Amino acid sequence: MGARRPDAGTAIVGTIVGFLILMVLLLFATQLIVRLYAESALTAAATRAAESVATAPSPALEVGAAEAAARGQLGTFGSSHLSFVWEEVDAQQVVLLVRAQSPEFLPGLSAWSRIERMVTIRTERFR
C-alpha cells in the first residue's frame, strides 16, 4: 500500500462547487426566461383586452368580457396571479393597468418577479 497524498479528495470538492455554481446559473437563467415570457404574454393579453374595449360600440360594457378573454388567454397564470385595473374607459381612450406575479424558481427574488404594465389605447370612432 502506498502512502496517501495530501491532496487526495480535492477533486471532488472542486467538482461539487462547480456543479453547484452551474445549477444556480441554470436556475437564474430559467427564472429570467420564464419572467420574460410572462411579461410578453401579459403585455399581449393586456393590449388585446384594451383594444377590444376601445373598439367596442359601448366600451364600458365590454370591460368584463375583455378581462375574461385576457384571463383565458393567460391560462392558469391569468387566473391566480393577475389583477386588472381599468383606470379610464371613455370616449377618448382606454387605460388599463395590469399587475402580475411571475412564477419563481429562485427564492428571494419576489421583488424582481412583480410585473406591471400600463396599456393606453385611443378610442376612435368613424364620423
Task: Summarize pLDDT for 92-116 with one digit per residue, the tens.
Answer: 889 999 999 888 777 776 667 789 9
Please state, in angstroms and rounded to a whole number, the distance separating the CA atoms of residues 94 and 66: 12
Give every residue of the chain whose pLDDT is below 50, as ranges. none
User: Could you give the dihedral angle defined by the CA atoms of residues 106, 26, 37 and 99, in that order, rounded to the nearest 10 degrees?
Assistant: 10
List the strands of the sheet with 93-101, edge to edge: 82-89, 93-101, 114-122
Structural domain boundaries of the chain?
A: 12-122
Residue-level pLDDT at 9 = 64
pTM: 0.78
